[in-house]
Amino acid sequence: MGCAEFRLLLVRLVSGSITHIFEAGPTLTVDSTAVRWAEFTLEPQHEPGNYDREVFLVLKEFEPSFSQGGDMAQDFLAPATRVKELETSGESAMKTSLARGMPHGYEVGYQYFTVNGRMLGHGEPVRVKQGERVLFHVLNGSATEIRSLALPGHTFRVVALDGNAVPSLAEVPVLWLGTAERVSVVVEMNHPGVWIMGDLADDDRGHGMGIVVEYAGHRGKALWTPPKASHWDYSRFAKTEATTSAPDDTFEMTFAKDNASEKGFNRWTINGVAFPMSQSVAPASFHLRQGKRYRIRMRNASDDIHPIHLHRHSFELTKLAGKSTSGVMKDVVMVGGYQEVEVDFTAANPGLTLFHCHQQLHMDFGFMTLFDYV
């Protein structure tokens, strides 16, 4: 499958006119009835189009509210190796906070869940024919949620991540997308019926996070069956030989949570510093020289999964929870609780560059920093 370098873009439309074009990733919001969002891809000239049709899916929630809950699910990420030092530090800080009578920090929940702006059962189905090869471009447009997606009786052949072709194509039963991640997959339509393509979480799917896939000649109630247990491992799509070039320099980053320390909201720090949420631009903490290759070693001293995003650059995954890997290019990566992830990038786009967790509530309370070029 020659599905190389799909660039998934969002377009802001106001009264039918395009006002902004940018790569997918920013939080999707609807700020008035006159504003809509659309998406499209830019394909390379050599793309052979080895599929019968394309379908775009944007996953998005509405009607948020705050709650004070516990830990999020972590068991879908692989490798699952935790760093004992990070776990001891994070758990100790949480126990101390709770012992002082602090509640768990606020999290965001939602009332409505949609695919392409429609709740499950309230939009047109994806209509397919047996034997078709359908290319799905999936964008997690959530501000805060990690999303899963499965289609009963089918598998997803992953061909691109965040618009970058993967070195090794692989079949998976479930897609997992951190906030702002994009996945392009080919599905062989070989299991006729009427099915729900939806989130694994029964409650989220029950409140709308799904879409009906309907084969030609089939009618009736859409069916859902849970997929077999599996894990999401970026290294499945990597080069067979995990070889990478040595970086010119390495930036060490440790992510930590101050539980409920900002009027009930968690404060987030990178190397002990929370990004100031003021109108002025904070000075850059990390400095780049054009043309140099840099490694970011991320150490997560919290129990949350963080979808980490680097603006204006793509990076190569080089180590996941202690496992070396190469060849997978992205601009958002999920860093598991108490885990380490390393990514490499080349400084090739001069200017101030934002680095942050794409979970909006984390970003709003300090989980950002800046790179600059010197």
Please tell me the total number of residues recorded for the chain in this structure: 374
- Residue 277, pLDDT above cutoff 90: no
What pLDDT, on a 0 to 100 scale, did the predictor assign at position 31? Answer: 35
What pLDDT, on a 0 to 100 scale, did the predictor assign at position 37? Answer: 52
What pLDDT, on a 0 to 100 scale, did the predictor assign at position 281? Answer: 79
Residue 123 neighbours by CB distance under 10 Å: 15
What digits encode the pLDDT tens for the residues 215-225? 999 999 999 99
The token pair that represents 150 in the structure block: 């499965």
Tell me if 7-64+109-232 shares its fold with 249-373. Answer: yes
What is the band of 243 on the pLDDT scale with cuts at 50, 70, 90?
confident
Residue 258 neighbours by CB distance under 10 Å: 19
Q: Is 134 helix (H, G, I), strand (E, B) or coil?
A: strand
CA atoms within 13 A on the CB side of 244: 25
Q: Is 76 helix (H, G, I), strand (E, B) or coil?
A: coil
Q: Where are the domains of the chain?
A: 7-64+109-232, 249-373
Please answer whether residues 135 and 48 qualify as being in contact, where contact means their C-beta atoms are separated by less than 8 angstroms: no
pTM: 0.89
- Domain 7-64+109-232: homologous superfamily in CATH: Cupredoxins -  blue copper proteins (2.60.40.420)
Q: Where are the beta strands (DSSP E) in 163-321?
A: 164-172, 175-177, 182-188, 194-198, 210-215, 249-262, 265-270, 286-288, 293-300, 306-310, 315-320
What is the band of 44 on the pLDDT scale with cuts at 50, 70, 90?
low
Question: Could you write out the DSSP letters of every residue in 302-371?
Answer: SSS-EEEEETT--EEEEEETTEE----EESEEEE-TT-EEEEEEE--S-S-EEEEESSHHHHHTT-EEEE
Give the integer Cα–Cα distance in Å for 334 and 325.
Answer: 15
Q: Give every CB contact of residue 122 below 8 A, 6+ residues apart in sequence.
A: 208
Closest to 337 (Cα-Cα) out of 162, 66, 106, 94: 94
* Cα pseudo-dihedral 59, 60, 66, 72, rounded to 10: 10
Task: Find the helix or strand (DSSP H, E) in which 136 lies.
Answer: strand 133-140
What is the band of 278 on the pLDDT scale with cuts at 50, 70, 90?
confident
Give the integer Cα–Cα distance in Å for 366 and 38.
Answer: 30
- Domain 249-373: homologous superfamily in CATH: Cupredoxins -  blue copper proteins (2.60.40.420)
What digits encode the pLDDT tens for the residues 158-183? 999 999 999 999 999 999 999 999 99
Residues 28-57 have a mean pLDDT of 64
Check residues 333 and 24 and name the one with the higher pLDDT: 333
Percentage of the chain surpassing pLDDT 70? 86
Please answer whether residues 166 and 328 qualify as being in contact, where contact means their C-beta atoms are separated by less than 8 angstroms: yes
Residues 72-93 have a mean pLDDT of 92
